[in-house]
């Protein structure tokens, strides 16, 4: 015996996305941003501009490995601190609190 719905809900009024889904979207975005940045790529997939010569020399002199690679991770603290700031049923905001 088939189940017949008693009331049809138009697709336009169904909630397909909610805060829980948006939180997952935010977490996925953080992982993508962190991985892409560590690879030295910007939001468009292009390599970051090279470090200024003076900064690159100072970074190398201080003993930071990969001092020629532009990936915005001198210590890694900035990228690791990227987090979800706010979630609603239709949006997620990423950023830093410190």
11 HSE (CA, 13 A, CB side): 0
- Residue the block writes with tokens 């939180």: 23
Out of 9-13, 49-53, 54-58, 64-68, least confident range: 9-13
Beta bridge partner(s), residue 41 = 47
- Whether residue 30 contacts residue 83, with contact meaning beta carbons closer than 8 Å, is answered with yes
In DSSP notation, 23-48 reads HHHHHHHHHHHHHHHHTTB-TTSPBP
> 85-96: per-residue pLDDT in tens?
999 998 999 999
- For 44-61, the pLDDT digits (tens) are 999 999 988 888 888 888
**pLDDT at residue number 59:** 84
Structure confidence at residue 34 as a pLDDT band (50, 70, 90): very high
């Amino acid at each position: 015996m088939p189940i017949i719905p008693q009331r049809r809900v138009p697709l336009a009024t169904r909630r397909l996305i909610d805060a829980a889904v948006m939180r997952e979207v935010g977490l996925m975005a953080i992982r993508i941003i962190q991985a892409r940045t560590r690879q030295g790529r910007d939001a468009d997939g292009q390599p970051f501009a090279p470090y200024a010569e003076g900064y690159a020399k100072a970074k190398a002199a201080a003993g930071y490995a990969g001092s020629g690679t532009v990936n915005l991770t001198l210590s890694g603290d900035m990228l690791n601190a990227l987090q979800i700031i706010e979630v609603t049923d239709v949006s997620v905001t990423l950023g830093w609190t410190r």
